[in-house]
Amino acid sequence: MPAATDLNAVELSLFVSRLEAVCDEMGVVLRNAALSPNIRDRLDFSCAVFDADGALCAQAAHIPVHLGSMAHAMADLVARLDWAEGDMAIVNDPYLGGTHLPDVTLIAPVFADGERVAFVVNRAHHADIGAQSPGSMPISRTLDEEGVVIAPRHLLRRGALDEAALARITAATRNPRYARGDFLAQISANRAGVARVAGWLHRLGAEAFRAGLAALNDYGERLALSALAQIPDGRYAFTDLMDDDGQGNRDIAIQVALDVRGGRVDCDFSGTAPQVDGNINCPLAVAAAAVFYCFRCLMPAQTPACAGSLRPIRLYAPAGCLVNARRPAAVAAGNVETSTRIVDAVLGALAQTLPGRIPAASHGSMNNLAIGGQLDDGDGPAAWDYYETVGGGMGAGAEGGGLSGVQTHMTNTLNTPIEVIESRFPLRVLRYALRRGSGGAGRRPGGDGLVRELLCLAPAHATLIGERRRHAPWGLAGGAAGRPGGQWLDGRPLPGKVALDLAPGQRLTIKTPGGGGWGADGPDPNA
């Protein structure tokens, strides 16, 4: 390959595509090898390639909150350990590069002629990571209540699996056999990525690979600067509110100010509420993922997902605030709920200066449901854990109405198929439908949320963590807000964040929020 300055557009495009193909192949391996429905069916995982120092090179189109947080934290993770061929490290500590404990990250170096050249990484959400409540998404007050905390450490050393370390992690889960299977699937995915990159390096050479990465990052930065330069210079502020933290604190502010100058953006979260007693706190890496996502959406589709495209964006959040929490604050819902509200705050600020390009607020919650218990599978009692995020309504924009019944913004998972739920768990799906009329009215209406109703067939414990139950998804340009969400047990309203025991025959119903509408009612001038 020519030097970085000599790469033409076709060569650079092929280079980017090959990197992305590695991430895609890793994802296929992980999905096919995993045992749990959360990874195999819902696709709650992400794969990426980083350079030798931990700078992002490429990622698959997986989960934005996984990928952005890895991009923010990987350099620090890489610097914490020494690396040799065949090594693989594991981490889930949110304060050392993770997001929340169910998201477990495996990191593997790639060497060429004895020199470290790159890393391949995957992050997967484990429905059980050792919390006391099934699904490992408890209504928690401290990090230790949320499961096993894994500081960065080697899981494989020169190709040899540390069986004792893996056994300690899986022994804390309700079903160690399934947990082990999912971890081995993650190891397999990284091995596939290492093999693919190493084979490419053998043909290409390390110098040409580094030259390609330099060209890739320079190209990404040029595209990012060009796109962000379309935002008029100025300072734009917005405040949005979290409903509550599940521990009695309500109306918790996320405040952002964007300072835009010549295509470079400083995002300042000063004024955001202090960290709270409940688990909606998030580490700075999660806040960074939400910010990166918002500005990535303003860039051209061909912008590579690399460190260069993130260079024009800087982030500041006071230590100890909701979006830059200090240990041992609980963070289980920060990754899923607060990250989504950060998106709403940043888009709300951008809407002040880009009114035709920014949509109204989407449903604004991952509508988390975790249920589990014990069953006798013929060989004695066996634990089961079911975790789901339920989609909702997308916010409308100037170009069209919002989609209905979809995941938005920081998550990109599928739903668990009804056939899988009913064949794997003692649950029956009584209803799964669009929540008609829940999208906000407007010239462009917001998308409708969903209704999911489950019948419990065995004793179980459930945790529900949702947002936008009190503060509705806002509309834009005169459009109406979407309808807030809610949940019920046998018709009795439940709080947005609640843990409860379920008896056989009880019905749990979740109605997710609709998206905000765009534009005042009236004839569409573009029709």
**pLDDT tens sequence across 16-50:** 999 999 999 999 999 999 999 999 999 999 999 99
The answer as to whether 280 is a domain residue is: no
Tens of pLDDT along 125-153?
A: 999 999 989 999 999 999 999 999 999 99
Tens of pLDDT along 364-386?
A: 999 999 999 988 766 656 889 99
For 188-204, b where at least 16 C-beta lie within 10 A, e where not — what string? Answer: bbbbbbbebbbebbeeb
Local confidence band at 525 (pLDDT 50, 70, 90 cut-offs):
very low
Q: Which of 222, 250, 267 is the last residue of a domain?
A: 222
Tens of pLDDT along 260-297?
A: 999 999 999 999 999 999 999 999 999 999 999 999 99
| Angstrom distances, CA of residue 150 to CA of 93, 104, 130, 143, 155 | 5, 8, 11, 12, 11
* pLDDT computed for residue 382 by the predictor: 81
Average pLDDT, whole number, for the chain? 93
Q: Yes or no: say if 474 and 361 are a contact pair by the CB < 8 Å rule.
A: yes
The answer as to whether 302 is a domain residue is: no
Q: Is the pLDDT of residue 8 over 90?
A: no
Q: Which of 222, 257, 279 is the last residue of a domain?
A: 222
The answer as to whether 33 is a domain residue is: yes
Report the number of distinct structural domains present in the chain.
Answer: 2
- Report the distance separating Cα 109 and Cα 83, nearest Å: 7
The answer as to whether 370 is a domain residue is: yes
Local confidence band at 14 (pLDDT 50, 70, 90 cut-offs):
very high
> What is the secondary structure of 462-522 as a DSSP string?
EEEE---SSSPPPPBTTPPPPPP-EEEETTEEE-SEEEEEE-TT-EEEEEPPPPPPBS-SS
Tens of pLDDT along 52-73?
A: 999 999 988 777 787 778 888 8
Predicted structure pTM score: 0.95
Q: Which of 199, 222, 245 is the last residue of a domain?
A: 222
* pLDDT computed for residue 297 by the predictor: 93
The answer as to whether 97 is a domain residue is: yes
Share of the chain above pLDDT 90, in %: 88
Q: Is the pLDDT of residue 477 over 60?
A: yes
Tens of pLDDT along 212-252?
A: 999 999 999 999 999 999 999 999 999 999 999 999 999 99
* pLDDT computed for residue 296 by the predictor: 93
The answer as to whether 213 is a domain residue is: yes
Q: 525: which residues sit within 8 A by CB, 6+ positions away? A: none
* pLDDT computed for residue 526 by the predictor: 42
Local confidence band at 326 (pLDDT 50, 70, 90 cut-offs):
very high
The answer as to whether 88 is a domain residue is: yes
The answer as to whether 263 is a domain residue is: no
* pLDDT computed for residue 4 by the predictor: 45
Q: Is the pLDDT of residue 421 over 50?
A: yes
Beta strands 313-316 and 264-268: pairing type? parallel
Residue 347: CA atoms inside 13 Å, Cβ hemisphere, count?
29
Domain encompassing residue 107: 4-222
Q: Is the pLDDT of residue 1 over 50?
A: no
